[in-house]
Amino acid sequence: GRGKRSLALNIKRPPGAAALKRLCSAADVLIEPFRHGVMEKLGLGPEVLLKENPRLIYARLSGYGQTGKYAKSAGHDINFLALSGVLSKLGRKDENPCAPINLLADFAGGGVMCALGIVVALYERTKSGKGQVIDASMVKGVAYLSSFLWKSQNLGLWNRPRGENLLDSGAPFYETYKTSDGKFMAVGAIEPQFYSQLIKGLGLDPDKLPSQLSFSDWPKMKKKFASIFAQKTQAEWCSIFDGTDACVTPVLSFDDVASHQHNKERRSFIKNDQEEISPRPAPLLSRTPSVSSFKRDPFIGEHTEEILLEYGFNKQEIAKLYSDKVIEFSKPKANL
């Protein structure tokens, strides 16, 4: 909610649905996060709202999409990831598939792809003057994000069982290793010239090692690398590999990431007025960079009155909606 305002509106009540319809008549974009059919039942489907405002971008962000067997079913990131096929590729050898928290389907396949769809629709509207409906399915979104996996199947990158391939923890040069102080280093030395610098930093003789791409030697090499990384602290390994092209970096915790020199120089993290640290918005635009908000996230309903007034509701209408429990106010108190 950083940098946003909050309006609390009960659209299950007819006056609330009418209020949302009125808001959408002057809006550019509506992001709708429900399962298929919910908005239609409330009389707020795209056919209704686009008739009121033909320029509206109606973005439907859902797990399974607006059609198909699961369109009206509940689900979470792990389910969408599973149905996309991507989850089958995630996890270590001889272990169950493992979902990477809820970042891939929810936020990447869902949020980011929906945002991209909105940008595309807004750009198209500059030519046609018309809005349209966006069907942003997390299953389809994360499947599309995995296009590289599909397109690279014939390159030999994924022809071994899960956890035995180049980028899924099978390779010793694409792995994380524990240091003597209980922290970790991330290694991504894929190209031969980067791999040679990794070997040099580890103090190994390349002439006494098997070929980098000798699959049968990968398990043995992983054990060798692990034993070496365990002999020094994370800071010591950083002093060895920083400034090289060995593709070796520290695995930073949330406690450490904002204070890392690179992130400090890039101003990649910000602290709000509540002393809470979070990432600065990205990407960075040269001519119109974003202006980060340092205020706390809004309380739910904090700006209800303010927003309704901006959209042409008078104070009597707002008072009626409040007395009918259609809208909510939060701190600070509304002045009606």
Instruction: Tell me how far apart the alpha carbons of residues 126 and 149 are, in angstroms, rounded to a whole number.
Output: 35
Instruction: Tell me how far apart the alpha carbons of residues 323 and 256 are, in angstroms, rounded to a whole number.
Output: 48
Residue 125, C-beta contacts closer than 8 angstroms, at least 6 positions apart? 55, 57, 131, 132
Instruction: Tell me how far apart the alpha carbons of residues 317 and 331 are, in angstroms, rounded to a whole number.
Output: 20
Write out the E strands in the chain: 8-9, 29-32, 57-62, 132-137, 174-178, 184-188, 248-250, 269-271, 277-279, 327-328
Residue 101 neighbours by CB distance under 10 Å: 9
Residue 201 neighbours by CB distance under 10 Å: 17
- Whether a cis peptide bond, with omega within 30° of 0, leads into 283 is yes
Instruction: Tell me how far apart the alpha carbons of residues 220 and 240 are, in angstroms, rounded to a whole number.
Output: 23
Instruction: Tell me how far apart the alpha carbons of residues 287 and 252 are, in angstroms, rounded to a whole number.
Output: 31
Say which of 76, 245, 256, 262 is annotated catalytic: 76
Say which of 36, 77, 106, 303 is annotated catalytic: 106
SS3 90: coil
Instruction: Tell me how far apart the alpha carbons of residues 225 and 202 are, in angstroms, rounded to a whole number.
Output: 8
Comparing CA positions, the residue from 6, 326, 14, 24 lying closest to residue 318 is 326
Known active-site residue 273: no
Phi, psi of 140 (to 5 degrees): -70, -35
Known active-site residue 255: no
Region for 234 from its dihedrals, namely left if φ exceeds 0, alpha if ψ lies in -120 to 50, beta otherwise: alpha
Phi, psi of 5 (to 5 degrees): -110, 155
SS3 138: helix
* Residues forming the active site: 76, 106
